[in-house]
Amino acid sequence: MRDVAVIGIGMNKWGELWDKSLRDIFTEAALKAIDDGGVDHIDSMYIGNMSSGLFVGQEHLASLLSDYLGQGPIPATRIESACCSGGAAFRSAFIDVASGMNDIVLAGGVEKMNDIGGDGATFALATAADQEYEVYHGVTFPGLYAMMARAHMERYGTTRKQLAEVAVKNHENGSKNPLAQFPFKTTVEGVINSPMVADPLTLMDCSPITDGAAAVILCPADMVKDYKNHPAVKIIGSGHATDTIALSTRDDLTYLKATEIAGQKALKMAGKRLSDIDLCEVHDCFTIAEIIVLESLGFFERGKAAAATEAGETRIGGKIPINTSGGLKSKGHPVGATGIAQIYEIVNQLRGGAGERQVKGAKVGMAQNMGGSGGSTLVHILEVM
């Protein structure tokens, strides 16, 4: 298996992009990545997308987007794994290059979620939950994560303030990210007093509905010298795991087994320990998700991540900077693109190009991207070459 590097990254400003179509959004990010990598062709591409058929009525994205990007007739594949579709697309591109099948591969992600309104988006997102045992009975993702939050609060004494601190920290980081959907700061009081969505989660505990795309270019590490425009970043670990889709069939509502397993696989492949990781992008679709993910990855003992967050250990300059991009909470969450945007941030940080939110001396970064309420997880570890 060949070593693989990321040599190009591209992302557009996320938000409510009314004047752009899905194909426009994707092509914009892809062209930025192609230009950033300095490549003159693409051998294949993988597109992370959760539900373009429900959001904009368009399927068959592989053909559509390769054509619109002007890259036909290259092989192109659309990847779906709920909210970790982007992470799965990145892993597929990594395997493609590592196997020797192709050399220059684009991994992208895109979602246009605002065109159908809030109710339609809620319906589309709920397809990533168990339709017969959860959605049929009226449960949507805010409700599922609210149950996880309540369970965590009851078992470990996690407080409402500690949940809010996740949003405060991520908005602080997002306020320094020019591509973020909501680049503003907030306060604990602002989070707690925002409109209730599903007790104990308020609006400011929830990631937004977002239009956006991101893309990266991968190539064999020994070819970096032919394309290098920036410090190259090597993919040293990749882990993938699944769990039951319904919360009711899990052993523990306060833990994410798929995240634990995917993280362990990525660390083993990379030959690293958690103490070697300089920063991590995690899937904070809700504030409680970030806390449980940090415990499932092993950065903190079970029940300790909330207090660590409150103490500032996950801030830039803390023990382990988490979601320097602003995370899903501030940067936005166009579900098919989120996993690729996490890679964008890690690569940008390892290059030293993150500006005000730069983690000093960052050499190794991790990205954790998951689908639904944790039914599938991708973890990747990258290191500057």
pLDDT category of residue 39 using cuts at 50, 70 and 90: very high
Residues 53-66, mean pLDDT to the nearest whole number: 97
**Of 92, 62, 65, 60, which Cα lies nearest the Cα of 75?**
62
Which amino acid type is present at position 111?
Answer: E
pLDDT of amino acid 227: 85
Supply 11's token pair: 């992302």
Residue listed under structure tokens 């991520």: 170
Average pLDDT over the chain, rounded to an integer: 97
pLDDT of amino acid 345: 98
Alpha-carbon gap, residue 8 to 163, rounded angstroms = 35
* pLDDT at residue 209 tops 80: yes
Alpha-carbon gap, residue 236 to 223, rounded angstroms = 16
pLDDT category of residue 117 using cuts at 50, 70 and 90: confident
pLDDT of amino acid 228: 72
Domains of the chain by residue range: 4-117+209-233, 139-206+236-384
Alpha-carbon gap, residue 310 to 33, rounded angstroms = 36
Determine the topology of domain 4-117+209-233 in CATH. Answer: Peroxisomal Thiolase; Chain A, domain 1 (3.40.47)
**Of 272, 254, 278, which Cα lies nearest the Cα of 374?**
254
β-pairing, 4-11 with 233-242?
antiparallel
Same fold, 4-117+209-233 and 139-206+236-384: yes
pLDDT category of residue 17 using cuts at 50, 70 and 90: very high
Taking the complete model, does pTM exceed 0.95, yes or no?
A: yes
pLDDT category of residue 229 using cuts at 50, 70 and 90: confident
Which CATH number is associated with domain 139-206+236-384?
A: 3.40.47.10
**Cβ contact 49:85 at 8 Å:** yes
Residues annotated as catalytic (active site), given as ranges:
83, 333
Alpha-carbon gap, residue 182 to 82, rounded angstroms = 23
pLDDT of amino acid 230: 87
**Cβ contact 189:333 at 8 Å:** no
pLDDT of amino acid 53: 97
What DSSP element (H or E) covers 367? Answer: strand 364-371
DSSP per-residue string spanning 238-257:
EEEEE--SSGGGSS-TT--H
If one counts every other C-beta atom within 10 angstroms of the C-beta of residue 312, the result is 13
Q: Is 29 exposed, middle or buried (0-12, 13-18, 19+ CB in 10 A)?
A: buried
pLDDT of amino acid 118: 85
Helical axes 61-68 vs 22-37, angle rounded to 10°: 60
* pLDDT at residue 284 tops 90: yes
Q: Distance from first CA to last CA of the chain, Å, rounded?
A: 18
